[in-house]
Structure 1
Amino acid sequence: MPGQALVASEVGVDVVAAVDPSGPICVRWGSNLGILWAKHFVGETGPTEIHPDPVAADGSRSTLSRPPPKKRRLQEISMEMPPDPMTMKMLHLQNSIEMKVLKLKKTKTKLEDGEIFGFDSVCRREGKLKDLFQYYTGLKLLRYLALVDFLAPSDDCIAYRKSRHDIKRLALKDCLFLCLYRLRHNFGLKDISMQFGLLLQSSSDIFNAWIEHIYFKFGQLIVWPHRDIIINNMPADYKKEFHTRMIITDGTEITQSPCALALQSQMYSDYKSSTALKCLIGCDPCVSLMFVSELFTGSVSDKEITTNSGFFDLLKALLQRGYLLEGDAGMADKGFTIGNELEKLGLKLNIPPFASSGSQMSPGDTELTQKIAKHRIHIERVISKIKNYRIVFHTIPTSLFQNINQIWAF
């Protein structure tokens, strides 16, 4: 028949199929197979992509067509040379700068959120760090709170030179904390402004206003106790040997570097071998401060400082009020040759005896010198406590010269 073909299967069965040009196309070989019997292909619909081959003669399943493998991406092989040490150093420096910038942003965020250094922040960490508050101010927390109540009983007791917004947001306890913070550690105004979140001028106004206020308030107090109180609280050894010595005096110096040559000659101290400011300090045998003079130039002698400081006028007033009696005495170093001035007031002076030239001191004078030196250590302890405030321990800057007497008296 025209258009017919004889096809032999694998089982030997002769099959005649009509070749149809529109019949299914074999997906494997791409040829026209014509109309084949259905049993020769799975699904009886002819060859498919999954089953492109006819069923095997033994009836076994036809093998599924394996999908073409996916194209693998070849890893790019870098042909770049490793960076040189200078490049690595620059990268490390850039990373370090980025970390510091991030840290500064976090600090700025904390400041904006209200976590500013001050009274409250230190009190919160007082339990974790022992004596933290005393480290910053030199006072225990309870004494500090009592000082705040004495100095600032109301909110309007401090008058600042300029009314600033950043000053108004600080409480009185924070302002006093700022003042003591600078006195204790001698931090600069820029550092304080950064710590407390203030402008530079605002920090200066707070410090100066509180120094003046403290000087005014403490100047009204009577710090010289009655002689009976001094005697009752004397140490046993001191009371046994010098029971009528009511006060121990000595001079001390703080370093100052003026710019003018004339002031340098006036402030030069032979004892310090440098320019300095000197003053007179007195305490009782219990190491309580009783007298502080104003500061004088370093070239002034101890006797002149005692005369010009008002010390003799104070003793005269105390004698009139009964705080001292005739026959009471004071204790001083050899440089304070003020025995004649005290005798005019009816008082006495104990100083170490002078050794005559060309001969040794007698055993009695040596013993007296040792006794006086043993008890004069109390005034040295007072001076040491004052010098713990580093603003007077280091060289006084010229910017503080205008109110250095107020700072020293405090």
Structure 2
Amino acid sequence: MKLHQNKEDLELSFLFEVSESTVSKIVITWINFMYFQLKEINIWPSRDIVTDYMPDDFKYKFATTRVILYATETPIQKPSHVDAQSVTWFSYKHKNTIKTMIGCTPRGTVSYVSDAYGGSASDHQIIEKSELLQLNLNLFEQKVSIMADRGIMVQDLFAAQDVKVNTPTMLKGKSQLEPEEVVRGQESSIQKDSHRASYWISQNI
């Protein structure tokens, strides 16, 4: 009921005749249980699946795209602990948030979800600690690329895996940006597709 109907803890405490703190503890316990169970599910698709379902625009200009990365912030209640308040405080939005790096295929299917960090964490820090950089997992094949939202500058992190990071712009005839050419600029039709997928992600997590 908590997740499906988004009922307040106070309302649930009345319905089940328990204290509000008991409701909170039960919800937290089950959320943690679900997290550890669901995180074992491998949602990372094979390269063949990504390519087969790739939109034509991506195939034409960014055929090597393996995943689109997008950082999303989720508002949370103000933590009671002072240190937690500081870590989760996001000055840009003037509220406490947690930040997660989401990955999706060019088709818009969620294919990666990082651990959650305090809203003050940078995109660079989150990816640096993520499974995306663990060589033993072999998530990236040779000569593939990542499409990143504007502002996610992480080419240095993926250089060791020979994975390019693309930030779509008006490419003037170039089909792919080299590592040193990662730039920001006017949105192309490819970027619009990635933003649509990113918007869907932000509304459904």
- Asked whether the two chains share a fold, i.e. TM above 0.5, the reply is yes
1:223 aligns with 2:43: yes
2:58 corresponding residue in structure 1: 238
Q: SS at 1:369's partner residue? A: coil
1:288 corresponding residue in structure 2: 109
Contact 1:303–1:335 (CA under 8 A) maintained in structure 2 = no
Q: How does 1:70-149 map to 2 (within 5 A)?
A: none
RMSD value, Cα:
2.9
Q: Give the AA of the match of 1:214.
A: M
Gaps of 5+ in 1: 1-180, 354-360, 387-410
Q: How many matched pairs? A: 193
Which of 140, 146, 149 aligns to 1:330? It is 146
CA shift digits 1:112-134 (9 cap, x unpaired): xxxxxxxxxxxxxxxxxxxxxxx
Q: How does 1:171-186 map to 2 (within 5 A)?
A: 181-186=1-6
Deviation at 1:204, TM superposition (A): 4.7
Distance in 1, Cα, partners of 2:94 & 2:25: 35
Residues 208/367 of structure 1: CA separation in 2 closer, same or farther (3 Å cut): closer
Distance in 1, Cα, partners of 2:119 & 2:71: 11
Residues 363/301 of structure 1: CA separation in 2 closer, same or farther (3 Å cut): same
Distance in 2, Cα, partners of 1:297 & 1:203: 25
1:210 corresponding residue in structure 2: 30
Contact 2:57–2:190 (CA under 8 A) maintained in structure 1 = no
2:155 corresponding residue in structure 1: 339
Distance in 2, Cα, partners of 1:264 & 1:205: 20
Residues 260/376 of structure 1: CA separation in 2 closer, same or farther (3 Å cut): same
Which of 305, 308, 311 aligns to 2:126? It is 305
Q: SS at 1:376's partner residue? A: helix
Gaps of 5+ in 2: 174-182
- Which has more radius of gyration? 1
Distance in 2, Cα, partners of 1:362 & 1:234: 20
Q: Give the AA of the match of 2:58.
A: Y
Contact 1:277–1:297 (CA under 8 A) maintained in structure 2 = yes
Distance in 1, Cα, partners of 2:199 & 2:127: 18
CA shift digits 1:50-77 (9 cap, x unpaired): xxxxxxxxxxxxxxxxxxxxxxxxxxxx
1:273 aligns with 2:91: no
Distance in 2, Cα, partners of 1:267 & 1:283: 25
Deviation at 1:305, TM superposition (A): 1.3
Deviation at 1:192, TM superposition (A): 2.0
1:373 aligns with 2:194: no
1:383 aligns with 2:202: yes
Using the size of structure 1 for normalisation, the TM-score is 0.42
CA shift digits 1:319-339 (9 cap, x unpaired): 3xxx53211011112321111
Distance in 2, Cα, partners of 1:263 & 1:204: 18
Instruction: Return structure 1 stretches of 4+ with deviation > 4 angstroms.
Output: 201-206, 259-263, 361-368
Deviation at 1:202, TM superposition (A): 6.3
Deviation at 1:273, TM superposition (A): 3.3
Deviation at 1:246, TM superposition (A): 1.2
Residues 272/363 of structure 1: CA separation in 2 closer, same or farther (3 Å cut): farther
Deviation at 1:311, TM superposition (A): 2.6
- Return the structure number with greater relative CO, CA threshold 8 A, min gap 6: 2
User: Which structure features the higher share of strand residues?
Assistant: 2
